[in-house]
Structure 1
Amino acid sequence: MKHRFISKRYWNSIATAMGESSSHLAEYDDVINFSLGDPDITTDARIIKAAFEDAMNGHTHYTDFFGDNELRQEICKYFDEEYSHKLKIEECMITTSGCHAMWLVLEAILDDGDEVIIHEPYFTPYPQQIQLTRGVPVILETYESENFQVDPDRLRGLITNRTKAIVINTPNNPTGTCFSEATMKAIAAIAKEYDLLVIADDIYTKFSYEAPFIPMMTLEGMRERTITIGSFSKDYAMTGWRIGYVLAPDFIIQTIKDINENNVFTAPSVSQRAALHALRHRDAIQPPMIEEYKKRINYAYDRICGIPGMSVLPPRGSLYLFVNIKATGLSSAEVAKRVLEEAHVLVLPGNAFGACGEGYVRMAMTVSVEKMAEAFDRIEKMTLFQKK
């Protein structure tokens, strides 16, 4: 809104369909929520219990400004065990969520007017996060016909003298795509050719269904030019704990730490202890959770394939299906509105994720199969999705 007491940067609304989705939950008392990617699975009791015990034992104070040292060491150990990639503790910092990590990274690396390439459809906050740090978002379009993979030639064509970094997100929110090894190597080659940074927003690493996840920083020559953002929100069902981390060359970590002293100081100590216990119990906690999401996403895929006017690529990764609704002849916002009003199912319109998302809706598989069955039964009864 326009007001003399509000920064002119925010006089025009910056609200998004994602940010406003929760307000729609109160419109009907039987809404089934496919909108936000907040798992219905509660954080594992072993994590909660151990974090509570740590709090009772005094872990309620500021931690080291870089983060709890035990947690940082455990993250380094994790990458050694999972990917045979050795990190120094000086290359790791704990943040208050993955979104906070992204802001800190952009604030640390961008000069005014620097350009950051993001592949579209994209995680909704990216453009504004870049603009908040005085950068310029540059859109790289991807398409369903190409499995939403990054096209190297289109990427190369966007690079200018002001390009500073490329953001990648795989497994992807919202499309669910997983970049192939060839795509990853092509992006790496371009980053090296033009001396660019790659910011790897690695939020859904355990939800790569077709092939094992490949961290960008493990590719040849990419360690020194990759900044990795990690989070415990999805891989461990810990969205409310607000805990993430950054992996980067030590001089970048030092800069991020200095910035954060003037922002939130340190991440919550109890949340950091919870993250530590999540890592230590991951072999027991993660497999059944991942299997549950695979079951859900495969069920949803089968149901969508049977609904006229809807289509979707086979599940590849993440918690999402990016459903093509172009056959309805309506916009993504119109379809999302009708699905809510007529079926009482809340989905996000694809244009919330950039112009390439028009003609799609995103569905988050964060409710039980039983609730999903009810949701798709309701959608199937809509006149919009009857056979013509």
Structure 2
Amino acid sequence: MRLAKRYREMRPPEMVRMFQTIERMEGVLNLSIGEPDFDTEPDIVEAAAKAGYDGFTHYPPLQGFLDVREAVCRYWERHHGLRADPGEVYMAVGGIQVAHLAFAALLDPGDEVLLVEPYFPPYVSQVEANGGVPVAVPTREENGFAPTVEDLKRAVTSRTRGLLLNSPCNPSGRVVPRRQLEEIAEFVGEHDLFVLSDEIYESLVFHGEHVCLATFPGMRERTVTMAGLSKSHCMTGWRLGYGIAPEALARTMTVIASSQTYGLNSLAQKAALYALDTQDAKVLERRAIFAERVASVAERLNAMKGVRCPPADGAFYLFPNISGSGLSSEDFSWRLLEEAKVATVPGSPFGRSGKGYIRIACTQSQDTLMRAMDAIEKFIDTL
């Protein structure tokens, strides 16, 4: 069967190649996957089962059940002061679908989107798949990988249409401070841009505060807030995401998705309804555990020869600088996997700013993390 020309030369991205290799190996200490090691809480699972017994086994409303969208609104007003209407919420198959639909609805061919480095790699292909041109905005470790307006001004052109911002950040763990977000909001208004604000890690901030970009004056009408329950409520396998956007855009995203996924799983939505309204205390408990893990791993890394690990203010990742090892990020990660059976992700797929770094996900038990640190330290000592 002949493939379409645009896919004939397609090869798995670096991160996917790493994941596929790990699947074929045994005994790997896996610090590569951004998935909480906690199972979904049993009462959330029971809520989904009850919904099934209650007859929620049919097609859902395409934009999502009204009561679920209302729960999303309650959650964001309660935690972040964002007042939204259910008509502005689209329930998606994971947060990543929100980005795809938003780009599909907003981009014309040749429109440029600023991607703040280091960025989640799939966003590059999503912009390109929807006719846009991804434009990388480098950041620096000395600035905490937080973008400045000067960084954005160097990248903006007359073809710039949008900005993708991720805070807390995958992979760096940065949380963009309120003052910088205010300056970014002003920049966005001056250049009449839309913003896809990836706030999927909003519940995991250890230092400082999470500030919702859409709460700044003039930003609600030009911001798509992307979030979900994968990280906050340990529901990665449920594929629960949502976007909060201007109502006309949310409707357009719904129409586009009607020919793709035709709504989000009914039972998963009812589980989300229960989770959003009842799990705040559990979310805080897990946040404290992740904060402890991230701090202890950073301490170990900073004690290793040739490694410098910037602190993480949020998410559950660390982004250590391993350039002192004399290896590139790709060589370091692949050799570490092959020789020490510790899986990490090279920093290079996250943009040019990631060269010389690796991503470590602190999503394993403390014992597993410390055993992995022992193995990394031993590996580095042999270089």
TM-score (norm 1): 0.96
In structure 1, the partner of 2:152 is 155
Distance 2:11 2:123 in 1: 12
Alignment map for 1:293-312 (pairs within 5 Å)? 293-312=290-309
The amino acid that maps onto 1:212 is E
Aligned to 2:320, the other structure's residue is in SS state strand
Q: Deviations over 1:344-377 (max 9, x none)?
A: 1000011121122110110001100001111111
Distance 1:143 1:14, change over 3 A: farther
C-alpha contact (below 8 Å) 2:149/2:184 kept by paired residues: yes
Q: Partner letter of residue 381 of structure 2?
A: F
Q: Say if 2:372 is the partner of 1:375.
A: yes
Using a 3 Å threshold, how does the CA distance of structure 1 residues 27 and 309 change in structure 2: closer, same or farther? farther
Say if 2:8 is the partner of 1:6: no
Letter in 2 for 1:220: P
Matched-pair contact (CA < 8 Å) for 1:18–1:36: no
Cα distance in 2 between the residues matched to 1:83 and 1:227 = 15
Distance in 1, Cα, partners of 2:351 & 2:10: 16
2:56 to 59, 70, 73: 59
Q: In the alignment, what sits opposite 2:69?
A: 72
1:90-117 CA distance string (max 9 Å, x none) = 1111011111111001001011111100
Alignment of 1:67-146 (within 5 A): 67-146=64-143
Match of 1:173 in 2: 170
CA drift at 1:247: 0.7
Give the secondary-structure state (helix, strand or coil) at the position aligned to 1:264. coil
Give the partner amino acid of 2:351: G
Q: Give how far 1:26 is off.
A: 4.1
Residue number among 317, 322, 325 corresponding to 2:319 in the alignment: 322
Cα distance in 1 for partners of 2:56, 2:15 equals: 34
Counterpart CA distance in 2 for 1:14 and 1:201 is 26
| Conserved 8 A contact 2:75-2:277 | no
Letter of the structure 1 residue corresponding to residue 313 of structure 2: R
TM-fit CA distance, 1:53: 1.1
Q: Does 1:385 align with 2:369?
A: no
Q: In structure 2, what is the Cα distance between the partners aligned to 1:31 and 1:385?
A: 20
Q: Using the alignment, how far apart are the partners of 2:6 and 2:104 within structure 1?
A: 17
Q: Alpha-carbon deviation of 1:270?
A: 1.1
Q: Give the equivalent residue in structure 2 for 1:211.
A: 208
1:280 matched to which residue of 2? 277
Which residue pairs with 1:362 in the alignment? 359
Write the distance in 2 (CA, Å) between the matches of 1:367 and 1:212.
25
What SS does the corresponding residue of 2:327 show, helix, strand or coil?
A: coil
The secondary structure found in structure 1 opposite 2:282 is helix
Q: What is the Cα deviation at residue 196 of structure 1?
A: 0.8
Distance 1:84 1:40 in 2: 29
Q: CA RMSD in A?
A: 1.4
Instruction: Tell me the amino acid that sits aligned with residue 122 of structure 1.
Output: Y
The reply to whether residue 184 of structure 1 matches residue 181 of structure 2 is yes
Q: Is the Cα–Cα contact under 8 Å of residues 82 and 212 in structure 2 kept in the other structure? A: no
Alpha carbons of 1:329 and 1:201: their partners in 2 closer, same or farther (altered >3 Å)? same
Q: Structure 1 224/26 Cα, relative in aligned 2: closer, same or farther at 3 Å?
A: closer
Name the aligned partner's letter for residue 385 of structure 1. Answer: D
Provide the secondary structure at the position in 2 that maps to 1:323: coil
* Paired AA for residue 334 in structure 1: D
Aligned length: 383
Give the conservation status (yes or no) of the 8 Å contact 1:21–1:36: no
Quote how far apart the aligned CAs of 1:27 are: 4.7
Q: Give the Cα separation in 1 of the matches to 2:84 and 2:313.
A: 29
Residue aligning to 1:332: 329
What is the DSSP-based 3-state SS (H/G/I as helix, E as strand, rest coil) of the residue aligned with 2:319? strand
| 1:258 aligned residue | 255
Query: Which stretch shifts more, 73-82 or 135-144?
Result: 73-82
- Give 1:157 deviation, angstroms: 2.4
Bigger mean CA deviation after superposition, 283-292 or 325-334? 283-292
Report 1:215-254 matches (<5 A): 215-254=212-251
Q: The residue matched to 1:258 in structure 2 has which SS?
A: helix
Paired with 2:181 and 2:163, the residues of 1 have a C-alpha distance of 12
Runs of 4+ in structure 1 off by over 4 angstroms are: none
Distance in 1 (CA, whole Å) between partners of 2:82 and 2:46 is 31
CA distance in 2, matches of 1:101, 1:19: 21
Asked if the contact 1:54–1:270 (Cα under 8 Å) also holds between the matched residues in 2, the reply is yes
1:14 shift after superposition:
4.1
- Which deviates the most, 22-31 or 367-376? 22-31
> Unpaired segments of 5 or more residues in structure 2?
none
What is the match of residue 292 of structure 1? 289
Q: 1:28 to 1:86 in 2, by over 3 A?
A: closer
Q: Does the 8 A contact of 1:94 with 1:243 survive in 2?
A: yes
Q: Secondary structure at the match of 1:288?
A: helix
Gaps of 5+ in 1: none
